[in-house]
Amino acid sequence: MSAEQSPKIVIVDESPIRAAILEEGLREAGFTQIVHIREMQSLLARIYAVDPDIILIDLENPSRDVLEAMFQVSRAVKRPIAMFVDQSDSSSIQASVEAGVSAYIVDGLRKERIKPILDLCVSRFNAFAKLQEELERTKSQLEDRKIIERAKGILMKVKGLTEDEAYVLLRSTAMREKKKIGEIAQSIITASEMLK
Amino acid sequence: MTAPLRIGFIPLVDAAALIVAVDKGFAAAEGLEVELVREVSWSNVRDKLNIGLFDAAHLLAPVAIASSLGLGHVKVPIAAPFNLGINGNAITVSPALHAALMEEIDGDRFDPLATAKALARVVAKRRKAGADPLTFGMTFPFSTHNYQLRFWMAAAGVDPDEDVRLVVLPPPYMVDSLANGHVDAFCVGAPWNSIAVDLGIGHILHFVSDILARAAEKVLAVRQVWADKNPDVVASLVRAAVKAAEFIEHPENRTEAAQILAQPERIGVDAEVIQRTLTGRLKISPDGTFRESGSYLLVGREEAGRPDPVQAAWLYAQMVRWGQTTLTPDGVKTAMAVFRPDLYDAALGQRPPAEAPAPFGAFAGPAFDPANIRGHLEAFEVGRWKA
């Protein structure tokens, strides 16, 4: 950072992982004063206590409306706070809303200092979303694998097949029915439970 | 085949016409494919509508007006071709505040002037005793709830900015906040008042219809430029909403409508609670006292769906009264232009009705005249506006 003091940044996010990812990015970029608020009770009071220059909040957070009230009761805050991004910056606001994050900036902070922070938010939020997607996919793959194992076991027992034969049968049926192997395996489990 | 319309909503009973239009097939019958998107904050609904992530939205009427005026946020002109609800809010107070009010009340318990005067006495006593000011929850700075609470208490001389604290709370947090003493009362739409009563932690003090007989609440909002570019889609949306509203208002359909709204991905609360709101018969006290009103929430009856620009002017006057904006002739014009009865009439292929819509029926102050907002506001003692 330049000679200017690092702005004080508050992250309001109920997801500790996402907040950590964002905080790490901000620290790497040289921002040193970062406070993470997870608890939504008395949000405004806590923000006043920190007295930040910038507030970042995730859009899944209903407390965003609480922050909006700050503009209306500016006499309660030391410095008035204005919603980030004026009319000319519609592309930044679009990118941030799509990424799921919104920023509130205290009046007086220079615009060129805000842009890199918001860009960082957008990339980190998108990275988090991707991470979550991958996690979901891995989870469902794992789940599939368990189901396939169980279905193989049933086929081996009922039809006297080897493990390899059971798998080949599952796979060829899936191909013939144009379904996922996991779906075929699930229907075998369901059927065998019904026939118990 | 065009892309489906994306329409945002907040899980509240006054989104009924929109939700039923989609889930009961009225939108499809108009050739519309709609994806309803449930949102968690009014800020999100406003932003996503403004930047085009939503084509239309269930929106607080004052937020639509504030957006057209550029108040509190980016200026994006909004058009409201359909009024999703008239009334529907209530003021709920904690058992402790309820007891204090009932001790002070001099007159009819449902008379808002009597309760406001009782509130003024409770406020004065607390101040004398050195107690913290009472805290009232509402949903958004530009909200009917904010203005309704202020209108009510100011009628008895309680200054909402000096004598009590008004705080914004997301509707799903209202009940918890009342239970843990974070607020002493709140004004919010259905179903949250009923939920507080059912949990035994609140008393419904007023239906908003006690304070204003007829108050525009939520609108179906679209960007004005989008409305200009897609007049046929707007007309189809209005017709679908009108048919849905008619369906909901038919007494024999109320159970089905409540079940549609109760779905987890829609409002996601018990159908019976939703039905209370639709029929206007609400449990108001934990002891099981019920109260019935013919105007608790109007979804389509009594011409509720047709936007009334005078209502927009009244909301604008509240923004002026409480210092959110300054009174200008352009401001009045811009606010009134948000409500579009012309689009409503065009969609239905009808002429404007000969009779003027029913007036506000405010319990205090002179009759409202949009041509003389200054004169109207001068009649009120408490306010933040500068002449």
pLDDT of residue B376: 95
Alpha carbon distances (Å) from A187 to A167, A173, B125, B157: 15, 12, 70, 70
Indicate yes or no: CB of A68 within 8 angstroms of CB of B167: no
pLDDT of residue A79: 55
Indicate yes or no: CB of B141 within 8 angstroms of CB of A68: yes
CB neighbourhood size of A41 (10 A) = 12
**Contact call for residues A10 and A35 (beta carbons, < 8 A):** yes
Indicate yes or no: CB of A98 within 8 angstroms of CB of B53: yes
Positions in chain B whose pLDDT score sits under 70:
1-2, 387
Q: Establish if A68 touches chain B: CB-CB under 8 angstroms.
A: yes
Measured distance CA(B69)–CA(B55) in Å, rounded? 20
Q: How many Cβ pairs within 8 Å bridge chains A and B?
A: 71
- In the stretch 83-142 of chain B, residues with CB closer than 8 A to chain A read 139-141
Please give the ipTM for the structure prediction: 0.87
CA nearest to A66 within chain B: B168
CA nearest to B41 within chain A: A62
Give pLDDT tens digits along chain A (196 positions).
444 678 899 999 988 999 999 999 999 999 999 999 988 777 888 888 888 888 899 998 888 898 888 766 544 444 555 555 455 566 777 888 888 888 887 766 666 777 788 888 888 888 888 888 888 888 888 888 999 999 999 999 999 999 999 999 999 999 999 998 999 999 999 999 888 7
- In the stretch 72-131 of chain A, residues with CB closer than 8 A to chain B read 72, 83, 85-87, 90, 93-94, 97-98, 102
Indicate yes or no: CB of B72 within 8 angstroms of CB of A90: no
A81-83/B297-298 β-pairing = unpaired
CB nearest B40 (choices: A44, A60, A94): A60
In the 8-state DSSP scheme, what is residue B31?
A: T
Residues on chain B touching A41 (C-beta within 8 angstroms): 182
Residues on chain A touching B52 (C-beta within 8 angstroms): 94
CB nearest B51 (choices: A60, A63, A97): A97
Indicate yes or no: CB of A64 within 8 angstroms of CB of B44: yes
> Which ranges of chain B does DSSP label H, i.e. alpha helix?
16-23, 26-29, 42-50, 61-69, 95-104, 112-129, 144-154, 171-179, 192-198, 208-211, 224-229, 231-249, 254-262, 271-279, 309-321, 329-338, 341-348, 373-378
Q: Tokens for A188, please give them.
A: 């075998």
- In the stretch 309-328 of chain B, residues with CB closer than 8 A to chain A read 324
Residues on chain B touching A60 (C-beta within 8 angstroms): 40
Q: Establish if B254 touches chain A: CB-CB under 8 angstroms.
A: no
Indicate yes or no: CB of A68 within 8 angstroms of CB of B168: yes
| Number of residues in chain B | 387
Residue with structure tokens 């080949």?
A: A168
Q: Which of B13, B4, B31 shows the shortest CA–CA distance to B280? A: B13
Residue with structure tokens 């430029």?
A: B225
Q: Which of A5, A1, A7, A22 shows the shortest CA–CA distance to A114? A: A7
Q: Which of B379, B330, B387 shows the shortest CA–CA distance to B151? A: B379
Q: How far is CA B111 from the centre of its chain?
A: 20
pLDDT of residue B242: 98
Measured distance CA(A49)–CA(A52) in Å, rounded? 9
HSE toward the beta carbon, residue A157, CA cutoff 13 A: 9
Q: Establish if A56 touches chain B: CB-CB under 8 angstroms.
A: no
Alpha carbon distances (Å) from A166 to A149, B82, B304: 10, 60, 65
Q: Tokens for B387, please give them.
A: 């002449």
Q: What is the largest CA-CA distance in chain B?
A: 68
**Contact call for residues A55 and A104 (beta carbons, < 8 A):** yes
Measured distance CA(B195)–CA(B204) in Å, rounded? 11
Measured distance CA(A117)–CA(A109) in Å, rounded? 12
Measured distance CA(B326)–CA(B176) in Å, rounded? 36
**Contact call for residues A11 and A36 (beta carbons, < 8 A):** yes
Measured distance CA(B239)–CA(B108) in Å, rounded? 42
Q: Tokens for B325, please give them.
A: 């904006």
pLDDT of residue B387: 64
Indicate yes or no: CB of A65 within 8 angstroms of CB of B43: yes
Residues on chain B touching A94 (C-beta within 8 angstroms): 51-52
Measured distance CA(A138)–CA(A181) in Å, rounded? 16
CA nearest to A88 within chain B: B74
Q: Tokens for B27, please give them.
A: 């939108």
Helices B254-262 and B271-279, interaxial angle, to 10°? 130
pLDDT of residue B206: 98
CA nearest to A59 within chain B: B44
pLDDT of residue B187: 98
Phi, psi of A89 (to 5 degrees): -105, 35
> Which ranges of A64-162 does DSSP label H, i.e. alpha helix?
64-68, 90-99, 111-159
Q: Establish if B44 touches chain A: CB-CB under 8 angstroms.
A: yes
**Contact call for residues A31 and A57 (beta carbons, < 8 A):** no
Q: What is the pTM of this model?
A: 0.87
CA nearest to A84 within chain B: B73
pLDDT of residue A119: 85
HSE toward the beta carbon, residue B264, CA cutoff 13 A: 0
CB neighbour list of residue A132: distance below 8 Å, 6 or more residues apart: none
Measured distance CA(A175)–CA(A102) in Å, rounded? 46
Q: How far is CA B349 from the centre of its chain?
A: 28
CB neighbourhood size of B242 (10 A) = 20
Q: How far is CA A92 from the centre of its chain?
A: 19
Measured distance CA(B312)–CA(B193) in Å, rounded? 25
Indicate yes or no: CB of B40 within 8 angstroms of CB of A61: yes
Q: How far apart are the first and last CA of chain A?
A: 69
B135-138/B185-189 β-pairing = parallel
